[in-house]
Amino acid sequence: MRRLPLASFAIIGTMVFVAVFAPWLTPHSPIDQSLPNKLLPPFWEEGGTTEYLLGTDIFGRDLLTRLFYGARVSLIVTALALSVGGGVGLVLGIVSGYVGGKLDAFLMRVVDAAFAFPTILFALLLAVTMGQGMDTLVIALSLFLWAGFARVIRGEVLAIKQRDFVALARVHGSSPARIMFIHILPNVLNTFMVLLTLNVGVIIVAEASLSFLGAGVPPPTPSWGLMVAEGRGKITSAWWLSLIPGIAITLVVLSFNLFGDWLRDRLDPKLRQL
C-alpha cells in the first residue's frame, strides 16, 4: 500500500488556502497596472525588491498576487467542470448501464465517438464562437470529462445490476428511477470519487492549456496558463514570468495526481487501470 502523500496534501492545502484568502494575503491588486514597476525580477535577483517577492509582469502587476488569484480561477473552473462534466457522465453512465438495450448501445456509441475525436478542437471552436469566458471554459472542459465518467460508471452499474438487492428492489416494485438513484447511485459513489480526484490534475492541465492557447478565461483575469502564455515572449529577459506559473501548475497537478493514485488504491484497487 502506498504511503499517505503528505507533501501532496501540503501543496493542495496551500493552494486552497491562498485561493480562499488571496485578498487578505497580498496588498497588491491582481489586475491594476503599475507601469513604473514593470518587469521587476524576483527579490533574490539583482534589482528585485521584497515588495514584489516573485517580481512583476510587463504591466507592473505582482506575480505572486496573480498566482494567488490564479489559484482561485483554477479551482473554481475545475470544480465547476468536474460537477458539470462528471455529473453528466455519472447520470448517463447509471442510466445507460441500468436501462441497457438500445439506449445503452446508442449512448456507448456516442461515448466511443467522443473518444475518437479530440475534444480540444471543439473546445477551441466554442471559444471562438461563444467568445472567451468562464462559461465557455466550463462547457469545453466538461466535454473532456463526461465520456470517460459515463463509460466507467456504466461498467460498474452493469456489475451492480446483477446483485441481489437490485433484484429485490425490483421485486418490491420500486420504480426504475428509484432503483437507479436510491439503490445504485450510492454504490458507484466510491468510483465516482476516485474518478473525480484522478481528473482534477487532468482538468487543471487542460484549463491551463486552453488558457495558454487563448481559449480560456479572458485577460486580465489571472490564470496560470494565461500567465505562462503572456510571459513566453519575454523568456529571454524575464524568465520568471512564464517559468514560475509553470512550476505552480506542475506542483499542484503532481500533488493532485499522487493524491488521486493514493485514494484509488485506498478505495478501489480494481480501478488500477484508469
* DSSP notation for 104-134: HHHHHHHHHHHHHS-HHHHHHHHHHHH-SSH
The reply to whether 192 sits near another protein by the rule CB under 8 A is no
Residues 139 to 158: which contact another protein by CB under 8 A? Answer: none
177: helix, coil or strand? helix
Residues 194 to 233: which contact another protein by CB under 8 A? Answer: 201-202, 205, 208-209, 212-215, 225, 228-229, 232
User: Could you tell me the smallest distance in angstroms from the CB atom of residue 98 to another protein?
Assistant: 25
Amino acid at 29: S
Place of cell 485514494: 263
The reply to whether 261 sits near another protein by the rule CB under 8 A is yes
- Smaller CB separation from another protein, 179 or 208: 208
62: helix, coil or strand? strand
Among 39, 254, 267, 271, indicate the residue that binds another protein (CB under 8 A): 254
Binding piece for another protein, criterion CB under 8 A, among 85-93, 160-168, 171-179, 255-263: 255-263
Residues 81 to 120: which contact another protein by CB under 8 A? Answer: 112-113, 115-120
Residues 6 to 25: which contact another protein by CB under 8 A? Answer: none
The reply to whether 167 sits near another protein by the rule CB under 8 A is no
- Smaller CB separation from another protein, 136 or 191: 136
* DSSP notation for 225-268: HHHHHHHHTTTTT-THHHHHHHHHHHHHHHHHHHHHHHHHHHH-
Q: Tell me the C-alpha distance between 156 and 109, whole Å.
A: 18
Nearest to 66 by CA among 15, 33, 35, 31: 31
The reply to whether 130 sits near another protein by the rule CB under 8 A is yes
Place of cell 480562499: 20
- Smaller CB separation from another protein, 162 or 273: 273
Amino acid at 38: K
Cell numbers given for 273? 487501470
Place of cell 482534477: 200
The reply to whether 177 sits near another protein by the rule CB under 8 A is no
Among 9, 43, 59, 122, indicate the residue that binds another protein (CB under 8 A): 122
List residues binding another protein (CB under 8 A): 112-113, 115-122, 124-130, 201-202, 205, 208-209, 212-215, 225, 228-229, 232, 235-236, 239, 242-243, 246, 249-250, 253-254, 257-258, 261, 272-273
